[in-house]
Amino acid sequence: MALKSGVDRSGFDLSVKPGDDFFQHVNGTWIKRNPIPPEYSRWGSFPKLRDDNLIALREILDDLPKQKAALSDERRKLRDFYRTAMDEAEIQRLGASPLKPSLQRIGKIESQKELVTDIGRLRATGIDTLFNLSSSRTRSKVIDTPHGWIKAGWVCQTEIITSELRRIRAVCAICIANM
């Protein structure tokens, strides 16, 4: 049995010889069929896949309110969350006021211990603050902070934390004052 190639040749431009312009030979037809949309500076199969997925997800969400049968809990939550996110009038009316309790809590942080506790609370909800823990293929262990990279094992200096705490409190105060 002969093996079949997994290469999709439908995007090839066979009018271009591979020796003359290999890129155009392999991609020419795909490029002609998929021009760069005006809102993008570049285009390829992955951005196209992302956009196609966003369209499919939008169709699913737009269809939820139209369904006659009772919705499962998951679908009901999706429908309600989407409705809330799309209610521009209510979003404009509320402004940043839903953030006020959080900003007030953050604005009351007085010590490094309270800051670390709140960072832990925020990180537990999926909100990155002050640093980002991630993995990479390199062997060195680093922590990404607003002040650059810190090798794991180094102690974050007190003045950096104090400076960040002052900056956070000032931003919170400005936000609360403008609500």
Task: Domain ranges for the chain, please list them.
Answer: 10-93, 97-177
Q: Transcribe the chain into DSSP letters.
A: -PPPP---GGG--TTS-TTT-HHHHHHHHHHHHSPPPTT-S---HHHHHHHHHHHHHHHHHHHGGG--SPPPHHHHHHHHHHHHHH-HHHHHHHTTGGGHHHHHHHHT--SHHHHHHHHHHHHHTT--BSBB----SSSS-EEEETTEEEETTSPPPHHHHHHHHHHHHHHHHHHHHT-
pLDDT number for residue 120? 86
Radius of gyration in angstroms for the set of CA atoms belonging to the chain, rounded to a whole number: 26
Low-confidence ranges of the chain (pLDDT < 50): 143, 147-157
pLDDT number for residue 155? 44
pLDDT number for residue 60? 92
Q: Tens digits of per-residue pLDDT, 73-123?
A: 999 999 999 999 899 999 999 988 888 888 888 888 888 888 888 888 888
Backbone angles phi, psi at 145, to 5 degrees: -125, 170
State if pTM tops 0.75.
no
